[in-house]
Amino acid sequence: MIIKRQRLLEIISEEISMINEQISEKDCSRRAKEDARQAQFLSYPMELMVDEDDACYDAYEEEFQALFPEAFETLQEEESQYSILQTVASWENPQPYFRNASNIDKLHPSAQQKFRAFFNALVDAGISLQVNSTHRYPSHQFRLRYVDETDPTAEPCRSDHQYGYAADINIKYWKVNPDDPDAAPVVVRGTKRGPGSEKEVWAPVAAIAAEMGILWGGDWEGAYYDPIHFYTRSVATSQKRQCEEFYEERIEDPDTGAPAALDLPEDWGDIEGWEPVSDAEDENKSEIDRILGVA
């Protein structure tokens, strides 16, 4: 008898809570509809959205998504980008370093302002950075590719570094483990090779770059993948060709003395090949600066 009464009470209480839920669902839906209607008159309708922990959140989401599909999509994107930056433990790095900032001065004037804003945004997010390379003359590019054999490196005159539109950086920040947010953040270094070259390490930097209209070498596929490389534009092939012609008119194959192509020298991949390129540049500095657009 007692058991039966207990069961009856349970059934009654279950029904009461179901009725309550239905009432609150109706109530939420009514509130959401009213607010959505009101939002049609606002310039930024999402201001009327409720917090994620509000009991009516689902009703609001449904109502607003139906009424403002485009604004809703933008909002979702902002949220996902924010979640990437959440992995940067900025409190562990209260004074991020910003080394070699003066290298920015060597970039093309149109790229300088964009890169300064980008690097300042990294520092604001708690990410330290070092600007390793910005503008490089073709002789420098030649040395990287054929003498130092750094791989992958573009041929001389073919890299956006030559024209002052690209910068290579290394980064350092403390990272929260998204699977275990209570664990102590660990320091990560963003590099070109090794574990620091992984996309996850660079993700917060890439997100900020994308937001600011800066392009990323980490989006290149396969052997071209270059996470340290950021650029504002790619130079036209005709300008690259002009640069190549400048050198090809002035350099000779060190073995035969015949005019040489700038991009041939598998066989003169040593310092002997680099010197004519460098000399041609030194002797006609103003002309090559004009061709590169960095004068």
**Binding residues for Zn ion (CB under 5 A):** 168, 229
Closest by CA to 218, choosing from 232, 205, 237, is 205
Cβ closest to Zn ion, residue 170 vs residue 284: 170
Q: What angle do CA 209, 210, 215 make, to 5 degrees?
A: 75
The residue number with the shortest CB distance to Zn ion is 229
Q: How far is the CB of 162 from Zn ion (least distance, A)?
A: 11
Directed axis angle between helix 285-292 and helix 237-248, to 10°? Answer: 160
Q: How far is the CB of 105 from Zn ion (least distance, A)?
A: 17
d(CA 173, CA 22): 48
Cβ closest to Zn ion, residue 140 vs residue 229: 229
d(CA 235, CA 164): 10
Closest by CA to 27, choosing from 65, 64, 67, 54, is 54
Q: How far is the CB of 213 from Zn ion (least distance, A)?
A: 18
d(CA 50, CA 34): 13
Cβ closest to Zn ion, residue 87 vs residue 232: 232
d(CA 112, CA 89): 28
Cβ closest to Zn ion, residue 229 vs residue 250: 229
Q: How far is the CB of 161 from Zn ion (least distance, A)?
A: 6
Q: How far is the CB of 229 from Zn ion (least distance, A)?
A: 3
Strand partners, 172: 128, 189
Cβ closest to Zn ion, residue 168 vs residue 281: 168
